[in-house]
Amino acid sequence: MRSLLFVPADTAKKLDKAMTSGADAVIIDLEDSIAPDAKTRARQSAAAFLKDAIATKSRPYILVRVNGLQTGLIDADLDAIGPAKPDAIMLPKAEGGASVVHAAAKLAVREAISGLPDGHIKVIALATETAAALFVAGTFAGASARLSALTWGAEDLSAELGAQANRDAQGRFLDPYRLARALCLAGAAAANVPAIDTVYVDFRDSDGLRRECEEAYRDGFVGKLAVHPAQVPIINEIFSPSADALARARAIVAAFAANPDAGVVSIGGVMYDRPHLARAQRLLALAPPT
Ligand code: COA
Ligand code: MG
């Protein structure tokens, strides 16, 4: 999943637009983009939209960002959207694997009520939105087979830390958020799930977005959250491996396949050993089917 586009659950026009935006996933938001008094109506509109959208042929992956476990709102969210069978929920303000276990139990109940198979609704966790979350970012492994990816957030974290800003004058994340980003990456790898980079909120700044995508792709993130449809094609482009990179990966895999006992091979005067093979296999596994 390269691009995951947020859409406020209460805006029908944007929901429709998101479905044809080219995003790999659409995230129907019941959390931060919905005012407290508008939650009930937003749940209804999310459920109505989901019911039709899930039945659409060749559609994006569809998830719902529910409200966090600490808010007292998540049960009503799940009651509303469970019967409409989203592919996944996004769990904000997750604090380690224990939060995923807790959310998974709630999902299992809704699946039983709706006649869905146990484990049908997956979970993508927002792993760095509270200070406490940073200290348990390494505890997601084995929490639940539902866990499909980790992502991270800097907005709620900066509010919690009492910061004036989370980026410097050049638009780069400051140290506490670079730490959160790295913990997301390492926490995801430790849990053997993909890591997805956070939003770039300045949605008219395509150069800034492009730079941040390139850095995230370089560091091992497989995709990025989007807040505007204009961000989707840039994200899709940068998180798709180039033809050269794919050809190189295939050559590495082929060289090791031809020499199954080798620890190291040479291709065109360059040495490749086992970590290169693992990286090549990972790249090919993430590449879109040809
Ligand atoms: N998903 C789908 N469509 C979107 C969209 C989104 N996230 N954001 C904008 N659009 C649509 C607009 O409705 C508009 O459609 P139109 O051309 O048919 O009128 C078009 O794209 C251009 O939008 P634009 O005028 O550039 O932006 P805007 O001022 O309407 O909206 C935001 C700006 C930030 C309010 C909007 O992008 C948004 O709601 N983003 C998601 C917010 C969110 O979910 N936040 C929570 C996670 S951080
Ligand atoms: Mg938030």
Mean pLDDT of 189-216: 97
Question: Which pLDDT value is given to residue 132?
Answer: 98
CA of 91 to the centre of ligand 1 (A): 22
* Of the listed ranges 133-137, 158-162, 274-278, the one predicted with least confidence: 274-278
CA–CA gap between residue 66 and residue 75 (Å, rounded): 9
Q: Is the pLDDT of residue 286 over 80?
A: no
Q: Give the other-Cβ count within 10 Å of 54's Cβ.
A: 13
Nearest Cα residue to 90 out of 58, 127, 115: 127
Question: What's the pLDDT score for residue 289?
Answer: 62
Question: What mean pLDDT value characterizes the chain?
Answer: 96
Q: What is the pLDDT of residue 60?
A: 97
Regarding the beta carbon of 6 and ligand 1, being less than 6 Å apart is answered yes
Please count the CA atoms within 13 angstroms of the CA of 77 that sit on its side-chain side: 29
- Buried-state track 64-78, b at ≥16 Cβ within 10 A, e below 16: bbbbbbeeebbeebb
Distance CA 63, CA 186 (A): 24
The confidence score (pLDDT) of residue 189 equals 97
pLDDT of residue 228: 98
pTM: 0.93
**Least confident among 146-150, 188-192, 285-289:** 285-289
Q: Is 202 a pocket residue for ligand 1 (Cβ < 6 Å)?
A: no
| CA of 268 relative to ligand 1 center, distance in Å | 48
What's the confidence (pLDDT) of residue 287? 75
Helix (H, G, I), strand (E, B) or coil at 15: helix
Residue 218 Cα to ligand 2 middle (Å): 25
The pLDDT score that the predictor gives to residue 290 is 59
The answer to whether the CB of 241 falls within 8 A of the CB of 288 is: no
- One-letter amino acid of 148: S
pLDDT level of residue 256 (50, 70, 90 thresholds)? very high
C-beta of 13 in contact with ligand 1 (< 6 A): yes
